[in-house]
Amino acid sequence: MNLTAALTANKVPVLLGPTASGKTELALCLARAWGGEIVSADSRQIYRGMDIGTAKPSAEEQAGVRHHFIDICEPDQDYSAGTYGREARACIARLQAAGRPPIVAGGSGFYIRALLDGLPAPHASDPQVKAHWRQQIAEQGAEAIHARLAQVDPASAARLHPNDTQRIVRALEVYQLSGQPLSAYKPGSEKPADFTPVIIGLAWPRETLYERIDRRVDVMIAQGLIEEVEGLRGKGYGLHLNALRTVGYQEVFAHLQGELSRDEMIALIKQHSRQYAKRQMTWFRRDARVQWMDVEGTDKEEMAERIARMFLE
């Protein structure tokens, strides 16, 4: 089987790695060389208006290579990892049928898991989502959040007392992550993808990666991250939205509210970005399917050639 046949038949490259590891640049290199399209697996690049803080591919890059699952939602719209998994599988099938190699690239562990393995509702869990709903209960009261659950999962709401906040939070967490009500879960309802993923992880020495993260934050500030957040705030968006409760945005909101100086804000974004990268690597290293590629000292073209050989083995 030649490379084109392998790419459009069953094998799909999945590029993953921590923030600032170079996934976007390598995915673009592969797409240009192979005539492919990029299927983003980034849980924040789906939102319109969140460009700088998510390191979204530029307009020129998107014009040169078609990207999927970028700018598909407003920040106040719900979009779950489970929904992404189902829609991304359908997108990959369409690209393969059209002879356009799909190239998956991203750093959102839940999105990649939902795409490759499905996301069974009982296995959907994220501390940040939990914390969000606990805060909502504290701010709005248990009755209001119980009513919110009744809108998305009436069966669970019917069996839970409004004061059973722990289980209410759990049911809302499952719905937000999987896109499916916890009450509707049936064992075996989620199946692995019907393509063969070739999962490539981009590995950097820790100190080098941290230096790249620090430089990226400086570039984001220079490009106008503060002004981007001011624009989002002007539209009524804020930290009550899960989309914006993420590294880069929450620190800028704190700065705009007078809680942090500019220097403190930048230092915290760098610190929190490094911590996030560490959590990403912990998640990815649990998956024995990942083939790790040392990136330092290797140019994109050489990496693309090495990846191509993986598909011919």
Q: Is the pLDDT confidence value at 131 over 90?
A: no
163 and 14, same domain (yes or no): no
Its pTM stands at 0.81
Contact 42, 36 (CB under 8 A): no
Single out the residue in 183, 198, 222 at which a domain terminates.
183
Residue 297 confidence (pLDDT): 83
Q: Are residues 65 and 97 in the same domain?
A: yes
Q: Are residues 128 and 112 in the same domain?
A: no
Same domain as 300, residue 225: yes
Across 115-142, average pLDDT? 81
Tens digits of per-residue pLDDT, 258-293? 999 999 999 999 999 999 999 999 999 999 999 999
Q: How far is CA 4 from CA 26, 39, 306, in A?
A: 18, 17, 15
Domain count, the chain: 2
Q: What is the pLDDT of residue 158?
A: 87
Model confidence pLDDT, tens digit, residues 198-233: 999 999 999 999 999 999 999 999 999 999 999 999
Q: State which of 183, 204, 221 marks the end of a domain.
A: 183
Q: Which residues contact 106 (CB under 8 A, 6 or more apart)?
A: 15, 16, 23, 40, 41, 42, 45, 112
Residue with tokens 């590629």: 293
By residue range, what is the domain housing residue 246? 3-119+190-312
CATH number at residue 293: 3.40.50.300
Whether 182 contacts 120, CB under 8 Å:
no
Given 163, 183, 203, which residue is the final one in a domain?
Answer: 183
Q: Is 236 left (phi over 0), alpha (psi -120 to 50) or beta?
A: left
Tell me the CA end-to-end span of the chain in Å, nearest whole number.
Answer: 10
Cα separation, 266 vs 272, in Å, equals 10
Residue 1's pLDDT band, with cuts at 50, 70 and 90, is very low
Residue 123: which pLDDT band, with cuts at 50, 70 and 90? Answer: low
> How far is it, in rounded angstroms, from Cα 86 to Cα 189?
12
Q: Indicate left, alpha or beta for 56 from its phi (over 0: left) and psi (-120 to 50: alpha).
A: beta
Amino acid at 143: E
Integer Cα distance of 179 and 78 in angstroms:
9
Token pair listed for 238: 């804020």
CB 19 within 8 A of CB 2: no
- Specify whether 111 is located in the same domain as 136: no
Do 214 and 248 share a domain, yes or no? yes
Confidence category of residue 309, pLDDT binned at 50, 70, 90: confident
Q: Worst-scoring range by mean pLDDT, 25-29, 42-46, 136-140, 190-194?
A: 190-194
Q: How far is CA 280 from CA 69, 201, 266, in A?
A: 20, 11, 21
Task: Summarize the confidence of residues 152-176 as an average pLDDT.
Answer: 87
Pair (265, 304) in one structural domain: yes
Report the C-alpha gap between 186 and 280 in whole angstroms: 29
| SS3 letters across the chain | CCHHHHHHHCEEEEEECCCCCCHHHHHHHHHHHHCCEEEECCCCCCECCCCCCCCCCCHHHHHHCCEECCCCECCCCCCCHHHHHHHHHHHHHHHHHCCCCEEEEECCHHHHHHHHHCCCHHHCCCHHHHHHHHHHHHHHCHHHHHHHHHHHCHHHHHHCCCCCHHHHHHHHHHHHHHCCCHHHCCCCCCCCCCCEEEEEEEECCHHHHHHHHHHHHHHHHHHCHHHHHHHHHHCCCCCCCHHHCCCCHHHHHHHHCCCCCHHHHHHHHHHHHHHHHHHHHHHHCCCCCCEEEECCCCCHHHHHHHHHHHHHC
Residues 96 and 174 reside in one and the same domain:
no
* pLDDT tens digits, 98-107: 999 999 999 9
The mean pLDDT of 118-137, rounded to a whole number, is 77
The amino acid sitting at 2 is N
